[in-house]
Structure 1
Amino acid sequence: MAKWGEGDPRWIVEERADATNVNNWHWTERDATNWSSDKLKYLLMGLSVENDVGTCEVTEVSKVEGEASINNRKGKLIFFYEWVLKATWTGKTKSGVKYKGSVEVPNLSDENDMDDLDIVVSLNKDEPDTPLLSLMKTKGAAKVREALGSYVGYLKTEFTQGMILPTANGVATPQSTSQSKAKTDKTQISSGGSTAAPVNTGVKIPTCKLSMRETFQTSPADLYSVFLKQEMVAAFTHASATVDGEKGGRFRLLDGNVCGEFTELVPDEKIVMKWRYNTWPSEHYATITLTFVDRSSQTELKVHCVGVPDSQEELMKEGWKRYYFEGIKQTFGFGARLY
């Protein structure tokens, strides 16, 4: 046995207080299958497109088969994922005629670039021809591709937190690669394809502030109640929800993917809550303040967020716009001009 201070430096545990995986040398693996299955359903459900003929929406995700995992070796992250997906889309013309069809993705894999992904859109056999099929094959397929690209981005940012452990200087600098080393990854969540910023896990994580606003065709009182009544939250998120709409009351939304607590309630004026996505670092919450401003026949909702992980800023904005703003407007008819 080597004396203290001698021998292979990989085994000198004093570099980490918890004496775990010094310098990220050892191989570690994390199974992302269950998380991925939930995330894929979450991203695909409710996708909608429209034109002058009518609208189409993904109303069911009937098949999510496959697996996903992430490996860390010497500070390098290796991603493996392989999925076969099938969903149902429902179309409705301006005149009210309804159609049904399917969307199939036979090869969502780390070995295939997102641009080369096969997305097969079809009508059910007993349905007559409709221009809505063309809408789904173009704009619909593009939205599905975008959602699947977001899944890969989430996999490489949210789910990897904690896999690269801080070293002696408290810095984690992960390198990522796919199972196929020969190809360049084009499936980052940002449109430019840039590599996600390193995440410091085990130390204070970098966070940011962000603000959003939206206008709704309703009163402050009606909009305020939408966020606190369990049945209304479940309706506009199109998923199971548990909401205790009182100060100190807790909530779980989107089938448990989001949770938090109401810390301050001023009826019809303000809601302050601790809010987190379940893949954020353990017990890390953002503070979100909702302010309801009466604009005569409209209500302006101001959303201010503090403590959002840096890597989640754009995803946070997209999620709130889609699942809160658009969901509330479409469900309760509070539509108004977007800013």
Structure 2
Amino acid sequence: MSQNLEVRNVQQTVELSAPPDAVYAALMDAQQHAAFTGFDAEIDAREGGAFATGSGLNSGYTLVLVPGRRIVQAWRHRDWSEHHYSIATFDLVPMGRGTRLTFTQVGVPADAYEWMDEGWRTTYWSPLARYLAMRRRA
């Protein structure tokens, strides 16, 4: 029996003070990912590879990788319906000496939209910006 799950899309743009390759590495390298989020991460950084981030709260599969430019993942949160995945796309564009990251997540359950939208900002983009800035100074 199919369910009609109401979904929404998250779209965010953030400017980061590091080149696209550094942003890509921070997102796809399990050690760096854990360092900037503060949560355990397991990431098989290949197309078709599985990932679990947020100490197991988030999981899925990487669908497309274009190093330094694009990451596309089938992504789900532990609290969502068992077989529901969204599609998360991270587009990285050089901007001066930094990167413009455009993030789109299609198919977020409507009842999770508010906290997902806020969660990306507080758990990912702000800590990622601090992490990248700190690494630049090191």
Q: Give the TM-score of the pair, scaled to structure 2.
A: 0.92
Matched, 1:292 2:95: no
Structure with bigger helix share is 2
Distance (Å, rounded) in 1 between the aligned partners of 2:37 and 2:112: 20
- The equivalent of 1:268 in structure 2 is 68
Q: SS at 1:301's partner residue?
A: strand
Matched, 1:311 2:107: no
> RMSD of the TM alignment (CA)?
1.4
Q: Deviations over 1:183-231 (max 9, x none)?
A: xxxxxxxxxxxxxxxxxxx612111122100000010111111111010
- Asked if 1 retains the 8 angstrom alpha-carbon contact of 2:43 and 2:52, the reply is yes
- The equivalent of 1:283 in structure 2 is 83
Shift of 1:332: 2.9
Distance (Å, rounded) in 2 between the aligned partners of 1:276 and 1:215: 25
Say which one has the larger Rg.
1
Consecutive unaligned residues in structure 2, runs of 5 or more:
none
Consecutive unaligned residues in structure 1, runs of 5 or more:
1-16, 18-201, 335-339
Distance (Å, rounded) in 2 between the aligned partners of 1:247 and 1:237: 22
Q: 1:1-339 to 2 correspondence within 5 Å?
A: 203-333=3-133
Shift of 1:305: 1.2
Structure with bigger strand share is 2
Q: Deviations over 1:302-332 (max 9, x none)?
A: 0011111111111111110011101112223
Distance (Å, rounded) in 2 between the aligned partners of 1:290 and 1:331: 18
Shift of 1:234: 0.9
Distance (Å, rounded) in 1 between the aligned partners of 2:7 and 2:126: 26
Q: Give the TM-score of the pair, scaled to structure 1.
A: 0.38
Identity of aligned residues (%): 28
**Once superposed, which parts of structure 1, at least 4 consecutive aligned residues long, lie more than 3 Å away?**
none
Distance (Å, rounded) in 1 between the aligned partners of 2:10 and 2:55: 25
| Higher RCO by CA contacts (8 Å cutoff, separation 6 or greater) | 2
Shift of 1:333: 1.6
Shift of 1:283: 1.3
Shift of 1:299: 0.4
Shift of 1:301: 0.1
